[in-house]
Structure 1
Amino acid sequence: MDFLSENVYIDAGFQHLCESVFVRLCQIVGTSVQVAIRRETTDMREMVGKRVADNDDPINMESGSIREGFRLEGSDLDIMYWLNNHRVIFDMSQSELYYTENKTLILSDSSESPPGFTLLELLTPTTNRKVQSACVPMNDRLYISSSLYRQQTQTHWYPGSTGHGPCESGEVGGLEYDFAWCFACDFWPPSASSWIDRCHSWPDREVVNEIVRNGCHFVPIGHSLGLHEQEEWRISFSLAEQKLVHSMNHCQFLTYGLLKIFLKEVIDKQSEETNKLLCSYHMKTVIFWVIQQNAVPLWCPQNLLAGFWVCFKLLLKWVYEGACPNFFIPENNLFLSKVHGSAQRKLFLELHGLYEKGLVCLLQSPSIKSCITNVLYNPRLSICTNEDRMISECDHDKELFNEIYCNISYSPKNLDHCIKYLHTIELMIGEPLTQYQVLMLQRSTAEILQSTAFTLHNMYTNTDLNKHMYIADRMSCHMLKLAAKLGFVSDMMYIAMFYCKTFRYREALYITEMIKVKLAQPGLMYRRRVHPERYTEAVGEQSWSTKMRQAVAEDIWLNNFTCYINELTPEQQFALQNDEGFLCIPLFVLLHFIEFLCYRHIDTTLAQTALEGLQVLVHHDQGLYVHYLNRDISWEILGICQQMTGNLQAALYSYQQSITQYPWHTIQNATQMRIQDLHIT
């Protein structure tokens, strides 16, 4: 039965319908500009992070839907972690490329494993306790057990997290996450060599070479039908897949998005028996094969639904045959352990029922239905597929500044590390960067300067070297003022914190007053909230650098390796013990906090006013200024202020409230310690 032989009839009405769906998908998935912003800012963060990593540091890489550029409801955050000083090789000759004094080598042995899976033999000694604990002897050799390594590395930081396949999975803030510890390999798997020869038309040779050059990873999960399920590892092509998705044109990417929407809103709604059989990875595999096989001659807005239909027919064919070939290793049947027997037959009948309805089956998708019915009822409806006219300047800027804010998360540990970051950024200035990456680099520079300024000051805090203290102080002030010229409006808060920390309370209050004036501007953009017309009136058509400095404010990240506010030292120390690198403090909470700390030394009445403002904000905010993930630290700060004024009962209540919030910052131990210090019985 050949489901690929039948073509969709294309006429002017069909093209009109395709254009309508294209516009709707741009609204849901994003325009090509929005998708580029998401990808390129993340590229910059990972580029900087890898360049500054020491040999014994863990490396992390974002993968999955969000890394690909999606921001769909339900898109999950996938993060892969690996040890920088461990590497997998495929044959012993590759060991010559490594200095084994600082690299632990692991050999892939797939001789007894199903396609796409392998055993990992530890070749050289490791000092990593988790790797040591996961080793098992087999045939007089030492292998790393995937199941044991998975147990060793799953930390369950967040409440409700569970093991799911190779990952630790859960949900926080409405966002589903999958964290997986894996091993990296700098070489392309021999079992996937045929893929290189298949790439005649897509992807182009430059992309193929980059993919092969970047190697692969191994995630801790065995094949359920393998001989050594508990010890086997799966070869992961996450990085290669990311490069492939990024090489798609926007129509192909939107078709991939439509397949994901169709899976979630139509296929998974057919029956409970079949709604877990297919997953987003199958949709990705389908579109990879369709693009590479040139099954669609032209990927453009007027042909979008034809591309979708070819993908759907190939999926139907695979379900009928019970075989979904992995894109890199076709011998690895992705349906082998799930889509078979009665469940397979049931799923096929459901999909075939949708197929018989034709494209009308898309009407079952709530996200797509309206744009189809609009065209059906208004055949002369004018549709503009020009992406530049789909998104306003303000919406474009919201996307850009939010992605920059979310991707700035560097945590240098000491002054040497700060200097390494600054040197890395200096070298990158001369590299060919996109306009979004240039802005990302500008904001990155501001953050590293802030960490450096406080780190330098802390080094000379308790010394008798007055001259050195004076020089360090001047350098720190200069760096913070420079950072304020490079970053957001809210970056001025670091100057206020520094003045407060160095007992220059009036100067700190002068800065907070300046910040309040800027925050009161009608065109201010704060956490993506903004009045579009007023924003455009204030900074429309100006450079992004100017907009960032004059009209954008975000919450404040404190690097836990550096002390910014003495009163928060316990929180930072306990968070670090839980491997939490940052405290994220709501901007307006921090503003009240600094004013309270400063006015205590100047005017107790105004200190009480600042405390009352903080109390109203924390007690009554409905998410406007205090995101719910930041409520633990906000209640904590309120309790600290109340304790400092001697209002111990109020402080106790605030600390108790902090403990009941979602433990985003993992500061519960600090809170418990503060409660004990109250000595309230």
Structure 2
Amino acid sequence: MADIIIPNISQALYRHLCQNIVGTEKHVKTIRLMNMVRDNLSNNKKETVITSGSIGEGLDMRGSDFDIMFVSKFVEVIENVQPDFDIRRPYLSMDTDDVKPCYTLLRLDYSRDSFRLFQLCEEHYGKRYFSSALCKGNMLLVLKEGNQIHGPCISDRNGFFDHAFSLHGKMWISSAVNWITRSGSSWPSHNVIQSIIKHGVLFVPVGVHGSPKEDLEWRVSFSVAEKLLINTFTHTQLMCYALLKIILKDVISNDSECKDLLCSYFLKTIMFWISEELPSSVWKPDNLITCFMRCFSRLVYCVEHSVCSHYFIPENNMFENKIDGRARDVLLKKLNTLHSYGWRCILFSDQISNFTVSIRNIPIEPCTLYVNDVKKIVQSRILHVGIDIFETYSELDIHVFNPGLFHSIWCHKFSLKHLYAYYISKRCSKQAQRFPLYGAIINNKYQYKRYKSCLSTLLTNVYHDAVSGWLMVASFFYKTKQYRKALHIIRYSISKCSSDKLFLGLTLSHIHYQSLKLLSFFKTSVACLRKILFVDLIQLTENSTLTPEELLIEGCNDIYYIPSTAYAYFLSFLCHNHLNDVRHCQDSIQDLKIVIGERYLMADFKSTAEAYTLLGIALQLFGDKESARQAFLQSLKIYPDESENSAAIIVKMNT
């Protein structure tokens, strides 16, 4: 009887994870493609950018982390094989004497530009070593205020993402050479192994805790290799890995005595070891629970014996001096208690407790899976943070456009073409705001060239969503005093603001479900979906040349995130105001009030507060000072953070 029940439960659990937590196999591939394209376009002459963490693996779940590795192209690490020497490049060599396996010192062997590197080096027994502590301290100074050091990373104040500076060794290191021939199974395949070797290894700035040379030590990182391995997982393997992460975050770490004893890297390591042992045919939905329990049992065994061998360098016991003594006893008791429940231990997580088991294995409708995948993207704040990171760190120059245009033109996959176009469009929105603007009358060739450059960049910016890109073009015409052209584009943008549109944080309605079900039959990609249905916020950057003068208030932060609907009617009001069209000014103010009242295409309280601030400015310009004051006060009531809400300064100025 159990032989029949367990497969049914496994299938039900698999469906629940697909629909509500992890997403479908296609959804995971989409996230990975987004990572790949974003990373490719972020790379530059100085560094390679790699998305890692859970998002880097394609797992966008509750509590997922977004890690970014910046791999320096300026310095190369060697072991004992001299590369083709390049006098322009500094070289560091590994020194593993008296260092724990998986760690190394990095000795400075050669640098033509000695002073810059010497500042990050410390002398030890007459030799200069690249300091991991000094590197992290230097990176902390470069990044925004409020970040803090967390292991090898610099974490932001909100805990959304980590930055990790790293160095690259192009050659596979000798301490991990046994991994190449160790596995006798079909996993990983020969091609995957060769690809991993080709990528070499990374070095991240963190030493062994308590080591006398901790500030000089660097950890060998196999993060690229691990991403390649996880990308070979079947969707059932990925679900099993996700279940382990869920039980760690939702159940084990909720126990104050067990918190911080285990990390997801240990679970990933266990997954790798077991993937070597089991044939790939085992990893299928019917066996999800069996595979999960095997992995969980291995975790219990590892804790019981205080041993968790590193996957690539088994000599490194990652539990050494960490999972021992009382900490081991407390953790083992917790794990044994959970293990005694069998597969039902996962029900202690509120994410899984409500899944239902059907007697019959009824397949899920493809359109339902498609809608659920879109819903995850719409409600995923961390994916949107990833897009913001791309806009912040990528440089829009020849190094961005060359690979982007190349892939857009030559790539056979439409999904990739559209993703490259999407990210280039997003970046153009920021780039266009740097161009100096002139009036509608251009006096010389230089001014005309700048004018055309800004306009062409803005026209490239219209491919990432249905509305905001065109409103930025309207801003351009407003700033160059071409008000009628601006109004024409605003009317077009407003016509696109229909009730079936999607935006960050949206709760899908019946209209959205119907629209998405229709699009599912055409197998519309995520990038295409964004162009058709998404409405982004208007993002006006610091010192943007496209920000209307009416928004530039002394003492206020001039960075704005404004709902597109509110901005459209506000900009419409400004145009009519300059044209002295009183009736249409009144109409624009009335329309602005309506979209605010309905919170039409507005994601959160902050967006609504920004909209009220725009209404207040419009009313103030129109001469209705009391109504303007009420609008500013309403803005502050909704979002009272005076450091981020310009309405606070406006109210103080008017009192």
TM class, shorter-chain normalised?
0.7 to 0.9
Is the counterpart of residue 535 in structure 1 residue 521 in structure 2?
Answer: no
Is the counterpart of residue 113 in structure 1 residue 113 in structure 2?
Answer: no
Range moving further from structure 2, 594-603 or 156-165: 156-165
Q: CA–CA distance in 2 between the matches of 1:331 and 1:571?
A: 61
Is the counterpart of residue 49 in structure 1 residue 42 in structure 2?
Answer: yes
Is the counterpart of residue 553 in structure 1 residue 553 in structure 2?
Answer: no
Is the counterpart of residue 440 in structure 1 residue 440 in structure 2?
Answer: no
TM-score (norm 1): 0.80
Deviation at 1:612, TM superposition (A): 7.5
Deviations 1:47-77 (A, max 9, x none): 1222xx133xx54322111221112111122
Residue 591 of structure 1: aligned partner = 568
Q: For 1:114, what is the secondary structure of its paired residue?
A: coil
Task: Please tell me whether the aligned partners of residues 222 and 231 of structure 1 are also in contact (alpha carbons under 8 angstroms).
Answer: yes
Q: CA–CA distance in 1 between the matches of 2:617 and 2:203?
A: 46
Task: Please tell me whether the aligned partners of residues 207 and 217 of structure 2 are also in contact (alpha carbons under 8 angstroms).
Answer: yes
Deviation at 1:653, TM superposition (A): 7.2
Deviation at 1:454, TM superposition (A): 5.9
Task: Say which of 5, 9, 18 aligns to 1:26.
Answer: 18
Code of the residue aligned with 1:165 in structure 2: it is G
Residue 80 of structure 1: aligned partner = 69
Matching of residues 143-154 of structure 1 within 5 Å: 143-154=129-140
Residue 192 of structure 2: aligned partner = 207
TM-score (norm 2): 0.83
Q: Measured at CA, do residues 147 and 507 of structure 1 come closer, stay the same or move farther in structure 2, by a change above 3 Å? A: same
Residue 38 of structure 1: aligned partner = 31
Task: Say which of 3, 7, 13 aligns to 1:11.
Answer: 3
Q: For 2:253, what is the secondary structure of its paired residue?
A: helix
Q: For 2:177, what is the secondary structure of its paired residue?
A: helix
What is the percent sequence identity of the aligned residues?
25
Is the counterpart of residue 484 in structure 1 residue 473 in structure 2?
Answer: no
Deviation at 1:296, TM superposition (A): 7.5
Deviation at 1:35, TM superposition (A): 0.8
Task: Please tell me whether the aligned partners of residues 490 and 552 of structure 1 are also in contact (alpha carbons under 8 angstroms).
Answer: no
Residue 6 of structure 1: aligned partner = none
Q: CA–CA distance in 2 between the matches of 1:159 and 1:662?
A: 19
Residue 218 of structure 2: aligned partner = 233
Deviation at 1:632, TM superposition (A): 9.0
Q: CA–CA distance in 1 between the matches of 2:465 and 2:554?
A: 24
Task: Please tell me whether the aligned partners of residues 494 and 565 of structure 2 are also in contact (alpha carbons under 8 angstroms).
Answer: no
**Ranges in structure 1 where 5+ consecutive residues have no aligned partner:** 1-8, 577-581
Q: For 2:369, what is the secondary structure of its paired residue?
A: coil
Range moving further from structure 2, 322-331 or 203-212: 203-212
Is the counterpart of residue 497 in structure 1 residue 482 in structure 2?
Answer: no
Task: Say which of 224, 245, 257 aligns to 2:230.
Answer: 245
Deviation at 1:552, TM superposition (A): 2.9
Range moving further from structure 2, 242-251 or 489-498: 489-498
Range moving further from structure 2, 587-596 or 141-150: 587-596
Range moving further from structure 2, 359-368 or 543-552: 543-552
Range moving further from structure 2, 220-229 or 440-449: 440-449
Q: CA–CA distance in 2 between the matches of 1:412 and 1:185?
A: 27
Code of the residue aligned with 1:189 in structure 2: it is I
Matching of residues 122-271 of structure 1 within 5 Å: 122-125=108-111, 132-155=118-141, 161-170=147-156, 172=158, 176-200=160-184, 201-269=186-254, 271=255
Deviation at 1:391, TM superposition (A): 0.8
Q: Measured at CA, do residues 560 and 389 of structure 1 come closer, stay the same or move farther in structure 2, by a change above 3 Å? A: same
Deviation at 1:126, TM superposition (A): 8.0
Task: Please tell me whether the aligned partners of residues 411 and 559 of structure 1 are also in contact (alpha carbons under 8 angstroms).
Answer: no
Code of the residue aligned with 2:45 in structure 1: it is D
Task: Please tell me whether the aligned partners of residues 262 and 362 of structure 1 are also in contact (alpha carbons under 8 angstroms).
Answer: yes
Deviation at 1:145, TM superposition (A): 2.1
Matching of residues 267-666 of structure 1 within 5 Å: 267-269=252-254, 271-294=255-278, 298-371=282-355, 374-375=356-357, 381-385=359-363, 388=366, 390-392=368-370, 394-398=371-375, 408=387, 411=391, 417-432=396-411, 434-447=413-426, 458=436, 465-467=443-445, 469-470=447-448, 473=451, 477=455, 480-481=458-459, 483-484=461-462, 487-519=465-497, 521-527=498-504, 528-530=506-508, 531-536=511-516, 541-542=521-522, 543-544=524-525, 548-558=530-540, 563-565=545-547, 567=549, 584-603=561-580, 605=582, 606-607=584-585, 610=588, 625-627=602-604, 661=641
Deviation at 1:509, TM superposition (A): 1.5
Deviation at 1:659, TM superposition (A): 10
Deviations 1:322-360 (A, max 9, x none): 111111111111111310012212322332333334333
**Alignment length (residue pairs):** 641
Deviations 1:343-385 (A, max 9, x none): 21232233233333433333333333333xx43xx6xx22335
Q: CA–CA distance in 1 between the matches of 2:166 and 2:365?
A: 39
Task: Please tell me whether the aligned partners of residues 59 and 82 of structure 1 are also in contact (alpha carbons under 8 angstroms).
Answer: yes
Deviation at 1:157, TM superposition (A): 6.4
**Ranges in structure 2 where 5+ consecutive residues have no aligned partner:** none
Q: CA–CA distance in 2 between the matches of 1:401 and 1:351?
A: 36
Task: Please tell me whether the aligned partners of residues 655 and 675 of structure 1 are also in contact (alpha carbons under 8 angstroms).
Answer: no
Deviation at 1:257, TM superposition (A): 0.4
Q: CA–CA distance in 2 between the matches of 1:612 and 1:106?
A: 66
Deviations 1:139-181 (A, max 9, x none): 2222222223222322596786543222233553xx6432333
Q: CA–CA distance in 2 between the matches of 1:610 and 1:130?
A: 57
Range moving further from structure 2, 495-504 or 103-112: 103-112
